[in-house]
């Protein structure tokens, strides 16, 4: 049973560029959430996708956008990269109802470095 | 505005002894709380949770205590084992009608268990 997978593992981009990160949820899960974890901090909620729509969003600018595909996989896009976007980006999958909404399964993350 | 705080960046304990990790929250809308464990190069892993209708939840060596009046929760690990060495994150969520599983995390506590 494959868990949550993310690609790529590491990424180096230049300020002003755009980046796309990918996530495949755990088998049987249809809800995908994205988090940003800066060094020494806890993960911060970016947004959540369910039924191919953004269902909830955290305090992140519109430069952060996403997409969910019919097979429940998801992409996170960040435009006009800033140095402050350097972080570990975590994808988490879950079921949409009950306590399963909160007991999320996380992938290993994508380490993004903006230079 | 840090709504979930873990004031101890690190904790060191001897194998076999008790580890106590603490967490405080400020948002009164939070009513579901979780602990996640994170090893290097891996995503956070769900450990244990507690609803605000309870004050204690136990799972094997792990027990979470919730004090709603103090807005404080703690995780007890007894007995501690070297394999428990990891970063522990406290997380919280509201369970109201528009809550879809957005988790708010603390900064994490690095637990080191010495043999």
- What are the tens digits of pLDDT across the range B58-92? 999 999 999 999 999 999 999 999 999 999 999 99
Q: For position A16, what pLDDT does the model report?
A: 98
* DSSP output for B65-95: EEETTTTEEEEEESS--GGG-EEEEEEEE--
Q: For position B104, what pLDDT does the model report?
A: 95
Residue A98 has pLDDT above 90, yes or no: no
Residues in B 14-53 with any Cβ partner in A closer than 8 A = 32, 34, 36, 41-46, 49, 51
Question: If you measure CA to CA, which chain A residue comes closest to B97?
Answer: A97
> What value does the mean pLDDT of chain A take?
95
Q: How far apart are CA A111 and CA A81, in angstroms?
A: 14
Q: Which residue has the higher pLDDT, A95 or A38?
A: A38
Residue B99 has pLDDT above 80, yes or no: no
Q: Is the Cβ pair B43, A55 closer than 8 Å?
A: no
From the list A58, A94, A102, the residue facing B49 with the nearest CB is A102
> What value does the mean pLDDT of chain B take?
94
Strands A5-7 and A19-24: what pairing? antiparallel
- The arithmetic mean of pLDDT across residues A60-89, rounded, is 97
Residue A95 has pLDDT above 70, yes or no: yes
Q: Is the Cβ pair B89, A104 closer than 8 Å?
A: no
Q: For position A102, what pLDDT does the model report?
A: 87
Q: For position A1, what pLDDT does the model report?
A: 64
Minimal CA–CA distance to A36: which of A11, A12, A3, A58?
A: A58
Residue A23 has pLDDT above 70, yes or no: yes
B chain contacts of residue A51, beta-carbon cutoff 8 Å: none
Kindly indicate the confidence band of residue B100, based on its pLDDT and cuts at 50, 70 and 90. confident
- Plot region of B29 (φ>0 → left; ψ -120 to 50 → alpha; else → beta): alpha
Q: Is the Cβ pair A41, B32 closer than 8 Å?
A: no
């Amino acid at each position: 049973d494959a868990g949550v997978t993310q690609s790529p593992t590491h990424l180096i981009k230049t300020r002003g560029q755009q980046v796309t990160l990918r996530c495949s949820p755990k088998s049987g899960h249809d809800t995908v959430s994205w988090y940003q974890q800066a060094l020494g901090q806890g993960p911060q909620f970016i947004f959540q996708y369910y039924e191919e729509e953004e269902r909830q969003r955290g305090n992140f600018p519109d430069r952060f956008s996403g997409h969910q595909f019919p097979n429940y996989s998801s992409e996170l896009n960040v435009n006009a990269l800033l140095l402050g976007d350097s972080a570990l980006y975590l994808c988490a999958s879950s079921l949409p109802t009950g306590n399963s909404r909160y007991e999320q399964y996380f992938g290993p993350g994508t380490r993004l470095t903006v230079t | 505005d840090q709504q979930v705080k873990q004031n101890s960046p690190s904790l060191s304990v001897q194998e076999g002894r008790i580890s106590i990790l603490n967490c405080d929250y400020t948002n009164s809308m939070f009513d579901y709380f979780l602990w996640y464990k994170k090893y290097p190069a891996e995503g956070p892993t769900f450990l244990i949770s507690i609803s605000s209708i309870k004050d204690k939840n136990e799972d094997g060596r792990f027990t979470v205590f919730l004090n709603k009046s103090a807005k404080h929760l703690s995780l007890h690990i007894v007995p501690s084992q070297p394999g428990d060495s990891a970063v522990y994150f406290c997380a919280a969520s509201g369970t109201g009608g528009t809550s879809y599983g957005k988790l708010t995390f603390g900064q994490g506590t690095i637990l080191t268990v010495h043999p």
